[in-house]
Amino acid sequence: MNKTLRFQWAVRASRPAARLVLVQDGRLLAGPSLPVPERRALEAWLAAAKFTGEVAATAWPPGLPVPVLLVGIGKTPEFHPARWRRAWAAAGRALANVRTLKTISCEWPAAASFPLTTAELAGLAADGLLQGEYSFEAYKSERSARRLAIEWTGAALATRAVRAAVHLAEQTGGILREVRDVANRPANDLAPMALAAQVRKLARRAGLACRVWNQEALRRAQCRALLAVAQGSHRPPCLIRVAYAGRRGWRPFVVVGKAVMFDSGGISLKPPKDMDWMKYDKSGGMVALATVLLAAHRRLPRPVVAYIPAVENMPGGGATRPGDIVTARNGKTVEILNTDAEGRMILADALTFAADEKPAAIVDVATLTGAVIVALGHEATAVLGNNDRLILELMLAGEATGERLWQLPLWSEYDEMLKGKFADLKNIGDGSAGTIAGGAFLKQFVPADIPWAHLDIAGTAWREAEQAHGAPGATLAGARLLAEWAARSRPGP
Ligand code: BES
Ligand code: MN
Ligand code: ZN
């Protein structure tokens, strides 16, 4: 990794190369460290430029003796952890786009005006900075190799809790950036078995057990739902298991992540405008991987196991035809009426492996439906499941990490939609409630006594274009929240 942000705590006498000043309610959040003439100049500029400090708005006002990066954090009553994190991500993005800067210092605002602890604020800020600053450069001939240091000043920050929160964000940030580098790779350079090799490498380095079922092993395990998706591609599928052992006597959390290396739709081919970014269809798998790596790094007591079914959905000569019927690993038969509803097929088989682990809970993560983008856009991940307590835990963890979840219902009435004409199930509903139909299908593959939740990250996993708060590409939305959820879980099975 060629770019790092460093956070330093002690007040340094050295003259900062630049200054970062937050703007809230249209006013500068800066204390005595900002010299009066500069403050006056900035205030004049704010008024002239009508810079109101909307969340993630940034600016470098001209003509100051020391360059100042202004970062908007919005209005006090609209404060939200996700917005605070986003503002800092925008700061990270603004800094990434300035190639000459060496250090920047920020005077921390008075904590009283925020509904979070200073440690929580600092952790979110560091996380935002690191993720905002990241961009995917593996395939560019010219890369920006530059180290950027951020120095924080202000006694409020010199506490243990703050240090710990920032340290955690830095460590987490390193892991997430590494996994994002995998998640951003195009499908021509990352076949399912190549992904397995990557995962194995990362798992080994973290001291984690890793097992891979290749195509032969998947046949023996009767994963015909998964294999049906893969059979239109020349590149064989696999199922990857990565396990962090945690403390003895605790039952694991199992995270199942959809890894469709490329989703052409298969014979039910997608329209071209929906296609190039379908290399992002492996995002759920990448989130599952990141979650175990984070759990292991934090040495959580809770064991965390990831299952990552990896396939390519292609319309080759051997491809599954609409109307084909297959038997999933749990014995249920499925009519495949649309080969583009492939995620639920591979998850179906992976979920039965997850259930075999006797887990305390299962969470699957998938870019499952375009319908979730219709419902929630790109601001929230949909959460559905069979256990409202689990769902609430996940939602609260998401509030803490700035990754928002929104629940959709999964009442048994919806199961009707998925009854097959010639088989037990069909893989699509009637066209209504597309995200719920996906969840209702998955539910058929999870024993009812295991708490289970499904995260549909189709709208949150990818940034199509450069935005104020992030570079284009994989976001790994859900990874921090799942690690946080595992960290919060109480002792025992
Ligand atoms: N990976 C897609 C989900 C998707 C589609 C994400 C469009 C973003 C934009 C998934 O495999 C898929 O194709 N889902 C279908 C399901 C349908 C056939 C029931 C969809 O959403 O169109
Ligand atoms: Mn699809
Ligand atoms: Zn898909």
- Please tell me the number of the ligand nearest to residue 261's CA: 3
DSSP letters spanning 183-238: HTS-GGG--HHHHHHHHHHHHHHTT-EEEEE-HHHHHHTT-HHHHHHHTTSSS--E
pLDDT for 105-161, tens place per residue? 888 877 667 889 989 999 999 999 999 999 999 999 987 656 677 777 776 777 889
| 260, 334, 368, best to mutate for ligand 1 pocket (most atoms within 8 Å of CB) | 368
| pLDDT value, residue 157 | 74
- Number of the ligand 1 atom closest to the C-alpha atom of 369: 21
Which of ligand 1's atoms lies nearest the C-alpha of 342?
11
Q: Is the pLDDT assigned to residue 9 strictly greater than 80?
A: no
The average pLDDT across 262-273 equals: 96
SS3 359: coil
- Residue 280 pLDDT more than 70? yes
Catalytic residue, chosen from 75, 270, 298, 332, is: 270
Per-residue pLDDT, 1: 34
- Tokens found for residue 178: 């590494």
Residue-wise pLDDT tens digits, 301-311: 999 999 999 99
Query: For the packed helices 118-133 and 160-183, what is the interaxial angle rounded to 10 degrees?
Result: 30
- Catalytic annotation on 163? no
At 156-188, the pLDDT tens digits run 777 889 889 988 998 999 999 999 999 999 999
Pick the ligand that lies closest to the CA of residue 438. Answer: 1
Q: State the pLDDT at residue 111.
A: 66
pLDDT for 3:
44
CA-nearest residue for atom 18, ligand 1, is 341
Higher per-residue pLDDT: 381 or 159: 381
b/e map 184-211, b = 16+ CB within 10 Å: bbebeebbbbbbbebbbebbeebebebe
Q: What is residue 149's predicted lDDT score, i.e. its pLDDT?
A: 77
Is the pLDDT at 288 greater than 80, yes or no? yes
Task: Decide: residue 271, CB within 10 A, 0-12 exposed, 13-18 middle, 19+ buried.
Answer: exposed
- Write down the pLDDT at residue 235: 98
Q: In which band, very low, low, confident or very high, does the pLDDT at 2 lie, cut at 50, 70 and 90?
A: very low
Q: What is the pLDDT of residue 101?
A: 77
Whole-angstrom distance, CA of residue 419 vs CA of residue 96: 51
Ligand 2 centroid to Cα of residue 429, in Å, is: 14
pLDDT digits (tens, 9 = 90+) for 324-380: 999 999 999 999 999 999 999 999 999 999 999 999 999 999 999 999 999 999 999
Q: If you measure from the C-alpha of residue 72 to the centroid of ligand 2, how many angstroms do you get, rounded to a whole number?
A: 38
Q: Domain map of the chain by residue range? A: 5-180, 184-488
Q: What is the average per-residue pLDDT within 395-421?
A: 97
Given this model, what pLDDT does residue 163 score?
87
pLDDT value for 255: 99
Looking at residue 105, what is its pLDDT? Answer: 85
Query: What are the pocket residues of ligand 1 if the criterion is a CB atom closer than 6 Å to any ligand atom?
Result: 263, 274, 281, 338, 340-343, 367-371, 428, 434, 458
Residues 6+ apart with CB under 8 A from 188: none
CB-CB neighbours of 24 under 10 Å: 20
Contacts of 194 (CB under 8 A, 6+ apart): none
pLDDT value, residue 340: 98
Q: How confident is the model at residue 381 (pLDDT cuts 50, 70, 90)?
A: very high
Any idea which fold 5-180 has?
Leucine Aminopeptidase, subunit E; domain 1 (3.40.220)
* pTM, to two decimals: 0.96
Residue in 344, 404, 426, 443 annotated catalytic:
344
- Indicate the fold that domain 184-488 takes in CATH: Aminopeptidase (3.40.630)
Residue 317, C-beta contacts closer than 8 angstroms, at least 6 positions apart: 232
Told to judge if 270 belongs to the known catalytic residues of this protein, a careful annotator would answer yes
What mean pLDDT is reported for the chain?
A: 93
pLDDT tens digits for range 68-82: 999 999 999 999 999
Residue 331: Cβ within 10 Å count? 9
Tell me the best of 312, 369, 417, 462 to mutate to test the pocket of ligand 1, counting ligand atoms within 8 Å of each CB and taking the most: 369
Collapsing DSSP to helix, strand or coil, 254 comes out as strand
Task: Name residue, tokens 């959580």.
Answer: 300
Q: How far is CA 226 from CA 90, 179, 218, 325, 404, in A?
A: 40, 24, 8, 13, 30
DSSP-assigned letter for residue 261? E
**Any idea how long the chain is?**
493
Give the model confidence (pLDDT) of 314-324 as tens digits: 999 999 999 99
